[in-house]
């Protein structure tokens, strides 16, 4: 499982003509699910997301997590995080999970995040979305449950 985690001061996800998720301070998470992801991947990535100390404390040091700031999390499915560009010019998505399994794991991750007590919004799985965000910092962190990067 791969996640691109961005610290945002604003974020809005629109799909099919309506706003699906909107937050002020918090995290925007683009989530890619691999074909062989399991519960341990969900647990690892969820724990990393909620406990990443990427928010500033009173000394302007990145020392607080999203729980400590009272921020929210928006999760957007992003199978293209498993795009392999090593051969040719068209990415291969062979390592990405199929739609049914990816949606199950995507929803399980959202539930796991909510279980930590954080407010979680989400995009629409397998739909075209417009994601508007203000990356605060900018701060962007890559999380990979297999620790490939």
Active site members: 78-80
Q: Taking a C-beta distance cutoff of 8 angstroms, is the pair 86, 93 a contact?
A: no
Kindly state the DSSP code that residue 45 receives in the 8-state scheme: H
Closest by CA position to 11, among listed 74, 59, 57: 74
What residue has token string 């002020």? 24
Q: Taking a C-beta distance cutoff of 8 angstroms, is the pair 13, 130 a contact?
A: yes
What residue has token string 């399991």? 38
């Amino acid at each position: 499982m791969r996640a691109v985690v961005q610290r945002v001061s604003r974020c809005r996800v629109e799909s099919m003509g309506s706003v699906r998720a909107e937050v002020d301070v918090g995290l925007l998470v683009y989530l890619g699910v691999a074909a062989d992801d399991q519960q341990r991947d969900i647990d690892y990535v969820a724990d990393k997301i909620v406990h990443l100390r990427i928010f500033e404390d009173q000394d302007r040091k990145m020392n607080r997590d999203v729980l400590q700031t009272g921020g929210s999390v928006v999760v957007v499915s992003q199978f293209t995080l498993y795009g392999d560009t090593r051969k040719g010019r068209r990415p291969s998505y062979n390592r990405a999970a199929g739609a049914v399994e990816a949606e199950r794991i995507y929803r399980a991750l959202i539930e796991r995040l909510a279980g930590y007590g954080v407010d979680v919004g989400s995009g629409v799985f397998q739909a075209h979305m417009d994601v508007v965000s203000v990356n605060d910092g900018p701060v962007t962190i890559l999380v990979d449950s297999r620790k490939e990067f």
